[in-house]
């Protein structure tokens, strides 16, 4: 996938699942930087499932952005645990990626998984399957980290951090008003209701009453 990003020119994002696929993509990224070096390429690996420790190091060195969909761990995690055993816990090593300086981005991959941001964020924080089993809980994100990964880091990944991802002067006023504090509702995070959404400063949705 090649995308045109604001102010950055062409960017490349490649879908890859599994260590073999990720290795092929990293080889290509390294070759591209060697032959046509760019100061800020912002390479992305979409899904980025089950990278090896060596590959994580290469991703960090290249500045590769890992775009993950942790809702899969909730929806399909029980099957992953049966089919992959202990390997299932390393499918999305989000905590390790952060420790290595890799930018972690969360996305939904809708309509394969839930499009609701709170579902995605909650899955990254809880690391629990549909049946409530832990799946890589040592790789869980804090609520603040997960929200950042779904907002400002996502905007950075597509070269639009000057317009999206945070509330600052000069940016689009995109925001959601919740009926509770997400930082105090770790267990019920996905159940918080949305009172109102605002897009570019205009109210797009409001609960009646």
Confidence (pLDDT) at 200:
93
Residue 10: the pLDDT is 78
HSE-up of residue 170 (Cα within 13 Å, Cβ side): 4
**Segment 172-183, tens digit of pLDDT:** 989 999 999 999
Q: Identify the pLDDT of residue 7.
A: 52
Burial 107-116 (b: 16+ CB within 10 A, else e): bbbeeebbee
Owner of token pair 């597509």: 158
- Say which range, 48-52, 143-147, 187-191, has the weakest mean pLDDT: 187-191
Tell me yes or no: is domain 2-163 CATH 3.30.70.260: no
Four-residue CA torsion sign, 79, 83, 88, 91: negative
Per-domain residue ranges of the chain: 2-163
CA distances to 18, 34, 61, 129, 208 from 15, in Å: 10, 22, 19, 23, 40
**pLDDT tens for residues 113-166?**
999 999 999 999 999 999 999 999 999 999 999 999 999 999 999 999 999 999
Question: 5 — phi, psi (to 5°)?
Answer: -105, 145
Cβ(19)–Cβ(50) under 8 Å? yes
pLDDT at residue 57 above 70?
A: yes
Evaluate if residue 106 carries a pLDDT over 90: yes
pLDDT beyond 70 at 71? yes
Task: Tell me the average pLDDT across 82-95.
Answer: 97
For the segment 102-122, the average pLDDT, to the nearest whole number, is: 95
Q: Which residues contact 82 (CB under 8 A, 6 or more apart)?
A: none
- What pairs with residue 2 in β-bridges? 12
Q: How far apart are CA 41 and CA 37, in angstroms?
A: 8
**pLDDT the model gives residue 9:** 66
Pair 73, 127: CB distance under 8 Å: yes
Per-residue pLDDT, averaged over 55-64, amounts to: 97
- What integer pLDDT is reported at residue 36 of this predicted model? 93
Q: What is the mean pLDDT of residues 90-119?
A: 96
Alpha-carbon distance values, 130 to 90, 137, 144, 193 (Å): 18, 14, 23, 21
What are the Cα distances from residue 201, in Å, to 26, 151, 154, 161, 204?
40, 17, 20, 17, 9
pTM score = 0.92
Span 162-174, pLDDT tens digits: 999 999 999 998 9
Q: Would you put residue 160 in left (φ > 0), alpha (ψ -120 to 50) or beta?
A: alpha
């Amino acid at each position: 996938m090649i995308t045109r990003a604001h102010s950055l020119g062409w960017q490349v994002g490649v879908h890859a699942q599994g260590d073999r696929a990720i290795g092929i993509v990293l080889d290509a990224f390294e070759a591209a930087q060697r032959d046509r070096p760019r100061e800020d390429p912002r390479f992305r690996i979409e899904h980025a499932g089950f990278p090896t420790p060596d590959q994580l190091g290469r991703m960090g060195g290249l500045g590769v952005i890992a775009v993950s969909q942790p809702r899969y761990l909730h929806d399909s995690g029980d099957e992953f645990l049966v089919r992959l055993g202990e390997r299932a816990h390393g499918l999305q090593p989000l905590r390790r990626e952060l420790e290595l300086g890799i930018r972690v981005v969360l996305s939904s991959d809708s309509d394969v998984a839930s499009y609701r941001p709170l579902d995605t964020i909650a899955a990254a924080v809880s690391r629990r399957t549909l049946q409530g089993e832990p799946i890589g809980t040592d790789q869980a994100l804090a609520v603040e980290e997960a929200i950042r990964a779904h907002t400002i880091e996502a905007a950075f990944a597509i070269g639009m951090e000057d317009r999206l991802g945070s509330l600052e002067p000069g940016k689009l006023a995109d925001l959601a008003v919740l009926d509770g504090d997400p930082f105090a509702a770790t267990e019920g995070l996905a159940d918080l209701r949305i009172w109102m959404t605002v897009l570019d400063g205009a109210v797009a949705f409001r609960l009646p009453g």
